[in-house]
Structure 1
Amino acid sequence: MTLMCLKESKDQNFFESQESIIALCTHLQELRDEFFQLLQNFVLFLFQISLWGNKCDLSLSGGETRSQKTNVINSLEELKPLILVNDMERLWSLLNNCKKTREKASITRVVIVLDNSGFELVTDLVLADFLLSSQLATEIHFYGKTIPWFVSDTTIRDFNWLIEQMKMSNHKWMSKCGAEWEAYVKTGRWVYRDHIFWTLPHEFCVMSQVAPDLYAELQKAHLILFKGDLNYRKLTGDRKWEFTVPFHQALNGFHPAPLCSIRTLKAELQVGLKPGQAEQYVASEPNWLTTGKYGIFQFDGPL
């Protein structure tokens, strides 16, 4: 058979297989779409777990234990209406765009400014694990406190101790998580940092003057997640803002990188609500700002 005949035979095979090729390409695209939707759903699911983990706060209970004794996964649907500001879709868009535009040699750094140790820290580490395994991030930097500002604040001791306890667990999946998390730390994909600024009495808008080294590090992030109430108070200067003041305005010039506050409400401070939204809660629940019942995902960054 001549080379010309071989070429014609190969070409004919392709053209005669058009129906099967179309079916295969269609199925591939459907699988991609389904995977993309599943990935988005699971990322948003883990963000919600991390939010409600913020309820486990010893400072709210006067030092008495506030362990998570029920499976929060089973409560997520009924908790959704309690999210007063929900910018999770913007978080997803930012992370997904970073993944799409990332070149082989570049990184996507997510910073998590931690709040409470214990169950909440586990929820944060599970979220961080999935961001890595799904390639939405290539490295996670955690910031804890040099000393506890409040009784349950995460320190380096708590971070390392929790990973060790997970690794030593008799449950195979807990121990697997612990071993993988230890490996992330050893290989530099997870980096734990602390800085004296987090325990100084400054609002975050002065960070660039008071702690320029820390501000410069945060500027390298593609996304900063601020967990908990104290971080929110420092983000907004702990001022008595009107409820409808935009979050961007309340940050008072603090914009090192796209950022999001993930918090359950435990202080008499909240911005970025819709007109009439706060009044609705005041009328029915006088203590709605301080019970930890409600939560927010409040994002500031490019639209």
Structure 2
Amino acid sequence: MKTPKLPVPTPMRGIDTAFTKDSVARRLPEILQRALTENELPKTAVAQLTTLLQSIPNGRIRYLPEHLAPELDIWQANIQPFLGQTWLEAPWLFVETYFFRWVVAAVDHFRSGIDPFAYQKRQGLIATDAQIQALLRQANQYIVNGWQPDHFRQLLLADLWGNQADMSMWSVDDETMPNHAAADDQTAHLLTNDATAVLQLLQKPVNQVDFIIDNAGFELIGDLCLTDYLLATKQVGTVFYHLKLFPTFVSDATAFDVESTVAYLSHHEDPIVRATGQRLITYLVDGRLHLVTDPFWTSPHPLWHLPANLQDQLAKASLVISKGDANYRRALGDANWPHATPFANIVSYLPTPTLFLRTCKSEVLAGLSEAQATEMAKVDEDWLVNGRWGVIQLAHAQN
């Protein structure tokens, strides 16, 4: 197993910073309370979720209840090293993935099909319908003009800033959710911008691009829009979406979420939006767009623990596009690296050039200069966590 070139710092925990403590002690209970309010759940599920709610943050980590699930044994083994620790003492990424895995167990998702976050996901589309129409109108015009590097840059920016719509951080109706719809904001709030290097990889048509997908809702629209452009212009032959095995992190996308979003677009009253949906259906039917999943994407492990089958899959791509904050945290082992640590020396284990599109919603970050990190602290006190700053950060595969 390839690992980072540098010694990995200890993964962050809830007790480490004010932000991680708040994330565990306040945000997780709020998410759970919202799920209880927005769903009519079976009494057994309500009882288990209420017990879970009461255990955060000072209760002890324990095994999942017995239920039907394809990776239950794997998850019980993942939990074993942290049994008896509190929610604040165990590693932060483990705690968050464990929390959502408990919610899935409580609602018996693999038998019932219940998605406790479905309401938020639906509202994520409805609330951004005007933005969706505007983005797809622009993208359709770009497609008419064929492959143009500047158009790709614009869609890349749109896809990045769609990551601001994160329902595990802000509910759909939260007015504090950041939004960089204005063109000037989109470039002014970039901490790193490797779009030119990405275009070098795509200067000639390539066979395959893989996306490690993050959120449903408006962010997924950005992914679909960029995918439509790459496939319609024939700059890419095939696209793979790596999706979550079950509903997690509130708005993370499953295969069902992609299919339902495509259906939403294909039945839209706006003819341009409808045309986009119909093209996406064609890609799904003819195999140019593949929806795949693996238990790894809902595990608590760092990205360098990629199983061999995923290593092989990603190695076939000319480019991997990793979306969102949680996938970025996973890539860096959710560790508190000095922000000036060379990014390439951490993700040196990746088998393929990988582009990270991520708005900053946690303190895990690398690849800045010392001067930039110092200056950012003066510009915006909460720059690491408020979602107003983003990265277009490319890591080339290393031998």
TM-score under structure 1 length normalisation: 0.79
SS at match of 1:230: helix
Give CA deviations for 1:198-248 in whole Å, capped at 9, x if unaligned.
Answer: 0111101121xxx21111111111100000000000111111111111111
Shift of 1:193: 0.5
Shift of 1:147: 1.4
**Alignment pair present for 1:272 and 2:367:** yes
1:256 alignment partner, one of 336, 351, 356: 351
SS at match of 1:138: strand
Shift of 1:79: 2.3
Shift of 1:149: 2.8
Match of 1:138 in 2: 237
Instruction: State the aligned residue count.
Output: 254
Contact between 1:116 and 1:153, CA under 8 Å: does it hold in 2?
yes
Match of 2:281 in 1: 182
Contact between 1:58 and 1:66, CA under 8 Å: does it hold in 2?
no
- Amino acid corresponding to residue 39 of structure 1 in structure 2: Q
Pairwise CA RMSD of aligned residues? 2.3
**Alignment pair present for 1:48 and 2:147:** no
1:93 alignment partner, one of 173, 193, 200: 200
- Amino acid corresponding to residue 309 of structure 2 in structure 1: D
Match of 2:270 in 1: 171
Change in 2 beyond 3 A, CA 1:230/1:248: same
Q: Distance in 2 between matches of 1:128 and 1:296?
A: 20
Q: Distance in 1 between matches of 2:184 and 2:154?
A: 10
2:382 alignment partner, one of 276, 280, 287: 287
Contact between 2:168 and 2:251, CA under 8 Å: does it hold in 1?
yes
Q: Distance in 2 between matches of 1:237 and 1:71?
A: 28
Shift of 1:70: 11
Rg comparison, structure with higher value: 1
Unaligned stretches of 5+ in structure 2?
1-144
Contact between 2:284 and 2:290, CA under 8 Å: does it hold in 1?
yes
Contact between 1:51 and 1:264, CA under 8 Å: does it hold in 2?
yes
Shift of 1:71: 9.6
TM-score under structure 2 length normalisation: 0.61
Contact between 2:350 and 2:397, CA under 8 Å: does it hold in 1?
no
Match of 2:87 in 1: none
- Amino acid corresponding to residue 60 of structure 1 in structure 2: M
Report matched runs for 1:221-240 at 5 Å: 221-240=317-336
Shift of 1:77: 2.5
2:256 alignment partner, one of 132, 135, 157: 157
Contact between 1:109 and 1:222, CA under 8 Å: does it hold in 2?
yes
Shift of 1:254: 2.2
SS at match of 2:223: helix
- Amino acid corresponding to residue 109 of structure 1 in structure 2: Q
Change in 2 beyond 3 A, CA 1:43/1:185: same
**Alignment pair present for 1:246 and 2:342:** yes
